[in-house]
């Protein structure tokens, strides 16, 4: 079995995990939730194995590079980090209901990578600009940040739903963590993601200097990365300096993740030095 086939299977494993989390939420049964955790962990392990296998395959083809260089490979890594971070949160807070909102993100990411006709899963030689050790540091840092923002997006949706609707202890909303816990978790995820996004931008600048002889060139990808950084910087400033909390932070978190998605997907199809991301 090659890496592409394995990762295609993992897509359906993530889909099963998402289904079980949602079933646990809707039918108020613990067994589907417990199964969902096991299935999601299995998917994450398989996802990591697929990345390692793809790395080995690239060496057998004489290409030999980390599988982080194109849109397919970055999506696969993105799905892995979402799954791993969520499992850590689930273990810490002992609440599987949040998985109903997070596991589908991992599934949709893998589904887009594996099933989209516009994305090639072929292992390709690196472009000259990508032949740098800074690439690995840049991509890993950015996608750790993106994954934290993805989880914050899901938590923000949960927060807004819970805040805007009446609940009782036996309802679906009553089984979710309190709004205070959700609010604090959202803030912690954004802080964590902002740190890694900052590291990603810095390592990207160093990489740009080694590849193109300048640290910053206002390429569309660079520009939108900076815009995204400013959105989250504004959010954190509003939280720490002006005392913003609750709904306003949740809405800003959602806006920030929309900026992340455009930085990740939309800009790849604009003319620029990062247009290779669509290949």
Tell how far CA 179 is from the center of its chain.
23
**Model pTM score:** 0.89
Per-residue confidence of the chain (279 residues) as pLDDT tens digits?
788 889 999 999 999 999 999 999 888 788 989 999 999 999 999 999 999 999 999 888 787 788 888 889 989 999 999 999 999 999 998 888 889 999 999 999 999 998 887 787 888 887 776 777 888 898 899 999 999 999 999 999 989 988 876 655 556 667 777 888 899 999 999 999 999 999 999 998 888 888 777 887 777 888 888 999 999 999 999 988 877 788 889 999 999 999 999 888 877 665 555 554 444
Shared-domain flag, residues 110 and 141: no
Last residue of a domain, one of 124, 158, 190: 124
* Sign of CA pseudo-dihedral 254, 256, 259, 264: negative
Nearest one of 195, 193, 206 to 260, comparing CA atoms: 193
Shared-domain flag, residues 186 and 198: yes
Shared-domain flag, residues 116 and 212: no
CATH number of the domain residue 117 falls in: 1.20.120
The CA distance from 114 to 277, in Å, is 16
| Alpha-carbon distances of 221 from 30, 85, 267, rounded to whole Å | 43, 25, 6
Shared-domain flag, residues 117 and 245: no
Last residue of a domain, one of 77, 108, 124: 124
Shared-domain flag, residues 148 and 100: no
Shared-domain flag, residues 60 and 118: yes
Cβ-based neighbour number of residue 38 at 10 Å: 11
State the residue range of the domain holding 108.
1-124
Shared-domain flag, residues 120 and 131: no
Last residue of a domain, one of 100, 124, 148: 124
Residue 278 confidence (pLDDT)? 41
Helix and strand numbers, DSSP H then E, in the chain: 8, 0
Shared-domain flag, residues 35 and 149: no
Shared-domain flag, residues 146 and 276: yes
Contact between 231 and 263 (Cβ < 8 Å)? no
Shared-domain flag, residues 35 and 96: yes
Shared-domain flag, residues 89 and 176: no
Shared-domain flag, residues 140 and 235: yes
Number of domains making up the chain: 2
- φ, ψ dihedrals at 71, nearest 5°: -65, -40
């Amino acid at each position: 079995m090659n890496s592409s086939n394995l990762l295609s299977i993992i897509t359906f494993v993530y889909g099963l995990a998402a289904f079980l989390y949602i079933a646990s939420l809707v039918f108020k049964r613990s067994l589907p939730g417990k199964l969902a955790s096991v299935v999601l962990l299995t998917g994450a392990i398989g996802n990591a194995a697929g990345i390692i296998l793809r790395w080995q395959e690239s060496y057998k083809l004489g290409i030999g590079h980390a599988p982080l260089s194109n849109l397919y490979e970055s999506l696969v890594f993105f799905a892995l980090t979402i799954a791993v971070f969520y499992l850590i949160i689930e273990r810490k807070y002992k609440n599987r209901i949040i998985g109903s909102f997070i596991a589908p993100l991992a599934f949709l990411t893998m589904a887009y990578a594996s099933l989209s006709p516009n994305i090639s899963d072929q292992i390709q030689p690196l472009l000259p600009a990508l032949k740098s050790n800074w690439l690995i540091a840049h991509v890993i840092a950015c996608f750790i940040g993106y994954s934290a923002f993805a989880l914050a997006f899901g938590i923000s949706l949960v927060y807004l739903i819970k805040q805007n609707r009446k609940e009782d202890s036996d309802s679906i909303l009553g089984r979710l963590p309190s709004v205070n816990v959700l609010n604090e978790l959202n803030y912690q995820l954004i802080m964590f993601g902002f740190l890694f996004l900052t590291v990603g931008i810095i390592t990207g600048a160093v990489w740009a200097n080694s590849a193109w002889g300048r640290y910053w060139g206002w390429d569309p990808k660079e520009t939108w990365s900076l815009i995204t950084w400013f959105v989250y910087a504004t959010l954190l400033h509003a939280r720490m300096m002006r005392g913003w909390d609750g709904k306003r932070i949740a809405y800003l978190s959602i806006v920030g993740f929309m900026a992340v998605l455009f930085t990740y997907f939309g800009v790849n199809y604009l003319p620029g030095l990062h247009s290779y991301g669509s290949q």
